[in-house]
Structures are given as structure tokens and as C-alpha cells.
Amino acid sequence: MREIKYLAIDHILLAMPKGGEKKACDFFHGVLGFEVIEKPAELAKRGGVWFRFGHFELHLGVEEPFSPAKKAHPAFRVEELEVVKEHLSHLGIDYKEDEELPDAKRIFLEDPFGNRLEILERIYT
């Protein structure tokens, strides 16, 4: 068998309830600054919304019945976590700091649907 060569993660999919597109855009675009990208026409019929950040994509798809991911989560790496924390605090968005990962500063928060998100800055010594 030939070796499988993985190149990168193409996208992350999170679930959201039906009709949550505006809330998703308000949060992921308005708060986190992700770019909204157009879904292919055939997939757009299913609802949901897609975003791009850097070379990656985040897709939010409609799931009924909806149940937020409370343990499983994407982790977004940033350059300066303090900038993110100041931004979230300014907007009144709650987050929880965590110091259990030795080579990172990180926070956890929830999207508007209750999905768990991690934002971290790696600390290399």
C-alpha cells in the first residue's frame, strides 16, 4: 500500500440549529473577524453558513435536532491571545482562561449556539 500523505485540515464543521445563520455571521464574522464565503448553490439549499480564516474554513451546518458540542471543539491558534481577550472583554463576551496546557496560553468560550471553542497562543521556549 502506498503511503497516505495528509496535507492539512481543509475545514472544520460545527452544527447549528435551523435559522441560525444571522447569529453565526454576527459572531464568527462580526466578533471573530472570519470572512463569510459563499456556499455552492446545491449545498446552500441545506442552510448553514461558511467562513474562512487564513488558509482554513469553518462550516456551520444545520442539524435537527440540534445539540451543541460541549466537549469536542475546534482550537484556533492566534498570534497574541491578549488581543483576543481584550476584544472579547470589550464586547462583553465571556471566556474561561485555562493554564493546563504547558506550552500554551488558552481560553475557552461558546459560540451563540453553545458549541465549545478554544483560542490559544503557543508559547515556545
User: pLDDT at residue 29 above 70?
Assistant: yes
Question: How far is the C-alpha of 123 from the C-alpha of 75, rounded, in Å?
Answer: 15
Instruction: Transcribe 43-85 into DSSP letters.
Output: HHTT--EEEEETTEEEEEEE-SS----SS---EEE-S-HHHHH
User: pLDDT at residue 1 above 90?
Assistant: no
Strands 116-122 and 75-77 come out as parallel
Q: How many CB atoms lie within 10 A of CB 39?
A: 16
**Domains defined for the chain, CATH in brackets:** 11-122 (3.10.180.10)
Percent of the residues in the chain that have a pLDDT greater than 70, as a whole number: 99
User: pLDDT at residue 124 above 90?
Assistant: no
What pLDDT is attached to residue 17? Answer: 98
Residue 34 grid cell: 472570519
Digit-coded pLDDT (tens) for 60-118: 999 999 999 999 999 999 999 999 999 999 999 999 999 999 999 999 999 999 999 99
Nearest to 13 by CA among 64, 88, 72: 72
